[in-house]
A = this chain, B = another copy of it.
Amino acid sequence: MKNKTTIGFIGLGIMGLPMALNLLKAGFRVIGYARNPQKCEEFIQSGGEWAQTPQAVGKQVEVLITIVPNSPEVKEVLFGQNGAALGLAKNTLVIDMSTISPVESLIIAEKLETQGVRMLDAPVSGGDIGAKAGTLSIMIGGDKADVQQAMPIFKAMGKQIVHIGDKSAGQACKSCNQMLIAQSLNAVSETLHYAQKIGVDGHKVREALLGGYANSRVLEIHGLKMLEKDYKPGFQAALHLKDMHIVEQACKHYGVESLATQLSQKKIEEVVKQGNGHLDNSAIHSITIEAKGVIK
């Protein structure tokens, strides 16, 4: 696959936009669509083309990338009115980089298959920082040949690119990622709160801990946000909560109990309940500090 491949890109949000810009930088022809066309100025100025509907995107591309908030949105842009699937030629490759339930991902893949369209699930981690830098971690489920075909595309957006397993395995891996990040956020938050309570400077503690076994990207990035109470996203708490519901369902389905995950989820829920779902997920630190019994 040469970089002359024409790629459709649906969803130019906080993650999608920088990812699409990296595809343009790598020399791909990219045709974009987003619900909110105002978001697309930078995309068009950077050489991106524009289509009026998902269907119009689908008609023109060999590979279609979707990165939207959740499975209803994936279904809408693919199978809704003027959906992309109406335009897709047989044998097109759809790469869904949204974070959705593995079960829903499988249903979508099978539906596309009935019209001869192949699909990979390829959710990402690394946040807007990783999306801009082109250093995302990409976790892929699907057929090996399809992964190989898409590799130059993945390499334009990510650094750690791992073929996890068959269809929906990328989404399953992403649910592990969100589970671990939720617990890590809570761990960093409770530790920085403890530091403050026992009377040591949180910034210095963070600096020292980054040099040892407690080092983590969450301590580095989110820990700083917590210390500075700067909860500009980043990754919105409401979206993390959506992902935690995927984890919760999988835990129920497979009989896994993780109380530490539940504690973290409750804090994220509390942020959303307080009307702050638009803030970064590091805003759980405000719940830790309040400690209004929500962690019981």
A residues at B contact (CB < 8 Å): 102, 124-127, 130, 135-139, 158-160, 162-165, 169, 172-173, 175-177, 179-181, 183-184, 186-188, 190-195, 197-201, 204-205, 207-219, 221, 235, 247, 250-251, 254-261, 263-264, 291, 295-296
Contacts and interface: CB of A to CB of B under 8 A. Distances in A.
A263 to B, nearest CB: 5
User: Which of A180, A188, A201, A291 has the most B CB atoms < 10 Å from its CB?
Assistant: A180
A34 to B, nearest CB: 24
Contacts of A214: 125, 177, 180-181, 184, 217-218
User: Which of A183, A192, A194, A211 has the most B CB atoms < 10 Å from its CB?
Assistant: A211
Contacts of A208: 125, 137-139, 160, 162, 164, 173, 177
B217 A213 contact: yes
Given A172-B198, A177-B208, A213 B165 contact: no
Given A176-B194, A187-B183, A254-B198, A209 B260 contact: no
11 contacts: A137-B208, A160-B207, A162-B208, A173-B209, A183-B183, A187-B187, A190-B260, A194-B250, A197-B255, A197-B256, A213-B217
A210 B164 contact: no
A210 B160 contact: yes
Nearest to A258: B190
